[in-house]
Chain A
Amino acid sequence: MAELLQYVVTGIAVGMVYALIALGFALIWKSSSVANLALGQLVLISSWFTYGMLVQVGLPYWIGLLLTIVFAVFLGWSIERFTLRPLIAQPILSLITVTLGVGYFLEGLVSFIWPTSVAALPHLFPKEPVHIGPAVVSQEYLWAAGISLALFGMLSLFFKYHKMGIAMRATADDQLAVQACGVPVTSVFSMSWMFACVVAAVGGVLISLIGGITYGLVETGLKSFSVVILGGLDSFIGCMVAGPIIGLAENLGGGYLTPIIGPGIKDIIPFIIIIIVMVIKPFGLFGEERIERI
């Protein structure tokens, strides 16, 4: 019983972080219908960057985190400015391929700068575990879930009420019409990449605090893909619902199936879910269907 509860709590918490990272995909898809295939590498590079600032340079925690955010914003800006903007009005497939290229470039950059394969961030949250009923959960999980939820709330409000947020959603609907309204689409795209990199960075730091920094972080990005696909490519709510589902499935499946099927099943589960969802519900749980007036 205690074991089950523990799987559930940690599964949901990790799932929330997946959901946060998945927002980095949904944001870009929503405003420019480009699939951001560099998601995992964005998570990877920002986690290593935080490690570099905190451990190698030895900065205090808050400055290190602040610098990570600044780094993420800069990264997002430069990806959009230097690789995607020259390709505006080109076939969408070229743009998607470019994000793949950016991903591999970043991965290469990381292994060039930080050849060590494993590292750990210093503890940020108190070490004492929390007792939830019979289960014992370390505090990192709860903080990760809380921070993800808070960031998700902030972004949702931004998109619902802020002028720029509304303009970003409008861009997703009709790029030409939005320009006729005087909205600079280039800054919309650039902003969506900045947001995407920031959520990937925060998600990356949260995941690294739980599981350490390895090259496996790229897979965290891949797991976020399954979140996006399950939730519907462009839906925020979809991400936030699908995240915990994937996290739970991964944890419960990993916990109870490993003795039966063998290790490794945990990492396959999200991808099994992708395939099932694609077959049954191609728009995902909350995806925007094309509006057809009848």
Chain B
Amino acid sequence: MLKLNNIEVVYLNVVRVLHGISLTVEDGSVVALLGANGAGKTTTLKAISGLLKVEEGDVTDGSIEWEGRRIDHSSAQEIGKLGIVQALEGRRVFGHLTTEENLLVGAHNRKERHIIHQDLEMVYHYFPRLKALRHNIAGYLSGGEQQMLVTGRAMMSAPKLMMLDEPSLGLAPMLVEEIYDIIKRFNDERHTSVLLVEQNVRIALNIAHSGYVMENGRVVLDGSADFLRNNEDVKEFYMGLSAVGVKKSYRAVKHYKRRKRWL
């Protein structure tokens, strides 16, 4: 179980971007982290995975616990060894390596060769398309294939917690669904917890068990996926729907303004 207690994150000792985030990811669950650009979602993931330190960011207050142990002072590599992996936003494949080499880098921290080989087959089982492309240079794969590769690379570390940063970014709706189906299946079959950062609220809440809505470095709303799906504010601001599930009319834009004022 992952537990964030009231963490604050400061970049370069000056810019405070997270003002007390608390969240919990139960074992085997899918948790969605939602919010607009600049809300602090990615920073939250980096705080967990330890990549924050690389970017001169620091967890200045609060604690991050993984299976009862504090990890907010561990390095990215140590955290990786504990079974937490983050797939970065924006399909960052290793462009000059082949598909298979990309996947092997994902298994860098693991020793046993035959198990790595099994996991390679496992990833190819979830993403059959990657198997066909195993000797292709990753830089020339299509966007969807690259996203599959990045997700598969995260799977290769045999994680207990997989953090995915906007897997739907820039993909066609059909591909988004395909990838989300695979993430769901991976979670069901392997009981890997998934922490999902997403702008596409609808699809994220489809597979998530619970979710958190962030704004300006704070959690403003949290609850089960059902609760969030039916929450008026979430519908209004993140799904573009008004009260009864009908498409929002922009003639009623005054209503929007009034709401924002008392927020």
Contacts and interface: CB of A to CB of B under 8 A. Distances in A.
A176 B54 contact: yes
Given A176-B92, A291-B139, A166 B104 contact: yes
A64 to B, nearest CB: 36
B206 interface: no
A163 B56 contact: no
A90 to B, nearest CB: 11
Interface of A: 89, 163, 166-167, 169-170, 172-174, 176-184, 288, 291, 293
Contacts of A293: 139-140, 142
B77 interface: yes
B88 A89 contact: no
B117 to A, nearest CB: 13
Interface in B69-118: 76-77, 80-81, 85-88, 92-97, 101-102, 104-106, 108-109
Contacts of A184: 77
A172 B105 contact: no
Contacts, number: 79
A288 B49 CA distance: 31
B108 A167 contact: yes
Given A167-B105, A182-B109, A291-B139, A176 B88 contact: yes
Given A169-B96, A181-B106, 19 more contacts: A166-B97, A166-B101, A167-B108, A169-B101, A173-B95, A174-B93, A176-B51, A177-B92, A179-B54, A179-B76, A180-B85, A180-B88, A181-B80, A181-B108, A181-B157, A182-B85, A182-B108, A182-B109, A291-B139
Given A166-B101, A170-B102, A182 B139 contact: no
- Chain A interface main SS type: helix
B105 A170 contact: yes
A181 B49 contact: no
B137 interface: yes
Nearest to B146: A293
Contacts of A180: 49, 51, 76, 80, 85-88
Given A181-B153, A182-B77, A293-B140, A288 B85 contact: no
Interface residues of B, number: 31
B240 to A, nearest CB: 31
Given A166-B101, A180-B49, A291-B139, A174 B153 contact: no
A293 B138 CA distance: 11
A181 B109 CA distance: 8
A163 B106 CA distance: 10
A143 to B, nearest CB: 34
B97 A169 contact: yes
Contact of A291 (B95, B104, B106, B157): B95
B96 A181 contact: no
A278 B15 CA distance: 43
Given A173-B96, A291-B137, A89 B56 contact: yes
A291 B97 contact: no
Nearest to A178: B105
